[in-house]
Structure 1
Amino acid sequence: MNDWIIHLIEQGGYAGIFVLMVLENVFPPIPSELIMGMGGIAVAHGSMRFWPLLFVGTAGSTLGNYVWFLLGDRFGYQRLKPIVGRWGRWLTMDWHDVERATAFFQRHGQWVVFAMRFSPFLRTMISLPAGLAHMRHGRFLLFTFAGAAVWNTLLIHGGRLVAQYLSAFEDVIGYAVLGLTGLFVVWYLWRVITWRPRD
């Protein structure tokens, strides 16, 4: 089972990792922890190299976050609100979430873009208020890339450790990865089905 998952990663290669990381930051439900963790296992198996994997994963994270940043920067509050109202169910957020993230961004300053890369729930959400606040594009991209690089480094090393210490249980790892992916998909679908706007 684990060999099959590694084979999928190898087939997609670095381009596949890049696309997955872009999508993970634009639209749920597959988390970067799973993508880059499996990439780390591929590094341990010798089918990927650390530095190219880190670069494409970080570039994908940055681009995915930049999509949300551009939405906020180009649309502004008035034009963005109806979009969130219409697509909020699929994004599992409403305007109240945007306002909370904006207040958080304003309270803690632009460095929060870097710091939130380590938060599973706020790392993508914070890009929207950064755009709404018209943060400088270069500064946003730099902070996002730097934060994502640190986080992805930890995830890759985590995957390598898993491969090293649990090599005797590779089949179990494969089933666990599929199980976790299934749980994330179920969680996302549950959020979509039970989602109710607050305003």
Structure 2
Amino acid sequence: MEAWVRNFLEEFGALGVGLLMLVENIFPPIPSEIVMPWSGYSVSQGDNSFIAVVAAGSIGSFAGAMFWYYLARWIGKDRLSRWIRGHGAWLTITPNDLDRVESWFERWGSVAVLVCRLVPGVRTLISVPAGFSTMSTLRFSLMTAIGVVIWTTLLAVIGWWLGDNYADLAGPLSWVSTLVIVGLVGWWLWRLLQQRKIRLQEANS
């Protein structure tokens, strides 16, 4: 993955940064923890402008977040809840879970959007409750913009600062992202088993 990202960015420069960050927010397996530090490293080598890569990365990330926000807003909570009733078992989600997420989001709102934009593995997911909640587009856009600029700038600065020693941190950053995703998958499997156990108990009672 890292070699492919490096080759892509070497060929397309800042435009490639924006494209990969857009895809990363729509299809998370392409981690920003590789894209942005490598972009910062390319700045240290004189291949790109720091402002250009941060701007491109932020715009791509912002566009990806807005995609999920508008999709959730278009679907709406009622339609999503009906779909979950019929197909939510494999996602280990129930309509009650959706209500709890909405209540939690209404409580934390802007703070949740801003903080979660800095957390690997959930940065994309936070756009969904924001979309079907009462959060305004302006408020969501502002918090998302602040979050993505902080995140992309931080990672780019790390890559730029490390320079030729970029490889020393590329691996650990990638592992952090991988561990978070593995943790989320493990949590999903545990929930799946718990729900299966409950259904078997109900069937036998």
Note whether the superposition's TM-score is higher than 0.5: yes
Quick one: structure 1 residues 3 and 13, their matched pair in 2 at CA, closer, same or farther if it must change by over 3 Å? same
Could you list the runs of 5+ residues in structure 2 that have no partner in the other structure? 196-205
| Residue 124 (structure 1) aligned with residue 124 (structure 2) | yes
Aligned to 1:39: 39
Deviation track 1:10-40 (CA, whole Å, cap 9, x = no partner) reads 2122222111111111112121111101111
Deviation at 1:86, TM superposition (A): 5.5
2: CA distance, partners of 1:124 / 1:34: 16
**1:67 partnered with 2:34:** no
Q: Mean Cα displacement is larger for which, 4-13 or 49-58?
A: 4-13
Query: Are residues 87 and 159 of structure 1, via their aligned partners in 2, closer, same or farther at CA, if it must alter by over 3 Å?
Result: farther
**Which deviations, in whole Å up to 9, do the C-alpha atoms of 1:66-124 show, x marking residues without a partner?**
111112211112222427976997xx774577555433312212232122211113322
CA contact (8 A) 1:71 1:80 kept: no
Pair 1:49-2:49 in alignment? yes
Post-superposition Cα deviations, 1:45-66, rounded to whole Å, max 9, x if no partner, equal 1111111111110111111111
User: How many percent identity over aligned positions?
Assistant: 32
Distance 2:77 2:53 in 1: 36
Aligned residues: 191
Report if aligned partners of 1:105, 1:126 keep a CA contact under 8 Å in 2: no
Q: Structure 1 residues 115 and 159 mapped into 2: Cα distance closer, same or farther (>3 Å)? A: same
Q: How far did residue 133 of structure 1 move? A: 0.9
Unaligned segments of structure 1, at least 5 residues: none
Q: What is the CA RMSD across the aligned residues, in angstroms?
A: 3.8
- The change in CA–CA distance for 1:33 and 1:77 in structure 2 (over 3 A counts) is same
What whole-Å deviation, never above 9, does each CA across 1:119-167 have from its counterpart, x for those lacking one?
1133221111111113221221121111110111110011112225x27
Name the TM-score, length of structure 1 as normaliser. 0.74
Distance 1:18 1:50 in 2: 13
Match of 2:117, SS state, is helix
Q: Looking at both structures, which has the greater relative contact order when contacts are Cα pairs under 8 Å and sequence separation is at least 6?
A: 1
* Aligned 1:172-191 pairs, distance under 5 A: 176=171
Which protein is bigger by CA-based radius of gyration? 2
